[in-house]
Structure formats: C-alpha cells, structure tokens
Structure 1
C-alpha cells in the first residue's frame, strides 16, 4: 500500500500478443517516510519583559518535535535570521522564522511568536520634583 517501508515481492503476470503468459515476481521497495512528513514541530509563544532582548536560545527552546524517537539523532533547530529577534524595546508581537532540520536532511519551517510587554510607567517616565518653600511655622500639606 506504499505505507510500510521495506521490500515486498509482487506477483506479476505478463501476457504476450499470442496469448502465452509468464509469471514473475517483481521486488517493490518502499522507502522510509521522510522525517518532515512523519513529524510536526510544536511551537510555544515566547514572552519577554520590556527591555529584555530575545536570544536565539529563547526562540529555539520554544520549538519541540513531539514523538520524535529519543534514540535517534535529534533534529537541529535554528533561527533563520537573528536580526528578527526583538531587542526588547518595542512592545508587541514579532514572528521569528525558524528551521527544523532532521537527520535525514529534510526540513520544516515554522514561525515562533515573541511578545514583548509594555514598558512600566515608572520606567517610562521620570517624575519632576520642585522645591517647596514654606514660612516657618506653616505646615506642609499633601497638595504642596
């Protein structure tokens, strides 16, 4: 059926124009399924605080290949373009392109969402301080 790897002999009947026949066995070999067809990478979102740059390890660590046999050589996960990594200074979500390369040479391409949080108000703003002068004996109020 083409789904089971290995070699199977198939009986074939050859019929000639004069009606005579030959019966032969033909070996049919079905190869192993390519890793990128057999497995689907799983992607988790990466969340970073404002001001914290995203590393390649943050992104590659968010990609797994569930059910990939642990006894086999493991797929290599790489960020396609490190320039896509958020520097942490712009809030919002960026998709980072990642390639999963399997030991058989096949590849899967995925996008990892990286979300940078909003800058905290106490980091975004500096308070203005003005000196308060009061006459001796005059209490200072909250409004002052």
Structure 2
C-alpha cells in the first residue's frame, strides 16, 4: 500500500465538471493498493499519516499534526502508484490490486479516517478525476 501525502492549503477533485471533494488546509492523499495489501496495513499507514507532524508551529518548526491544525483529508484512489516502468515505455500495473480489493480497502481507509478527522472528502473510485491542489511548501511524504 502506498500513500502519497501532500500538505495543501486547498485541494479539490472534479468528476464530469462537478466538484466531488474539496478541502482547505490539510492533506491530499493519493492512495495506491497492491495485490497483497490488508486492512491491518491500512491501519498502520492511517495511524502514521494522522500523527505526522508536518505543519508549522508558532516558531516555524514542522511540529504540528493534522489534528493540531484542524486540517482536512482529501483521499483519492490512484492505482497508477503501482506502475512498473522497468521494461519498455508502457507502464505495467500488474502489482496493483484488482479493482474489487482496491475499492474495498479504499472505502475502509475513508471510513477509518472519518473516525479520527472531522473533515474527510474523497474522489470517486475508478472515475476519471481532475485533481487540483495548492501544495503547501511544497511538502510531500510517501508512506509505504
């Protein structure tokens, strides 16, 4: 499982010219699910993500968590995080989970995050999405 976490001042997801998810300050998280991934692995990454202290405190140090700044989450499924480009120029996605498992774990992650963070928005699994963001910093963390 892979989480690409981007600290943002704002982010949104649009599908068919309609905004389906939008946050202000917080994390835009691109989520990739692999073939062998489990809910237990998701729980570990969720816990780590929520506890990341990557927002600045009053002294300018990255010392505050998402909860400390009342930040939101925008969670977007992205199977292309499992692209394998070792051979040729056309990526292979054989390491990505099958859609059924990926969607089940994506929905699980959303529900678990809602238990911890008041503002949780999401994209639409399997849809062609337009993701817009203002990366704050820029600050991007990859959790695996």
Instruction: State the TM-score, normalized to the length of structure 2.
Output: 0.27
Instruction: State the TM-score, normalized to the length of structure 1.
Output: 0.27
Q: Using CA pairs under 8 Å that are at least 6 residues apart, name the structure with larger relative contact order, 1 or 2.
A: 2
Structure with a larger share of its residues in helix: 2
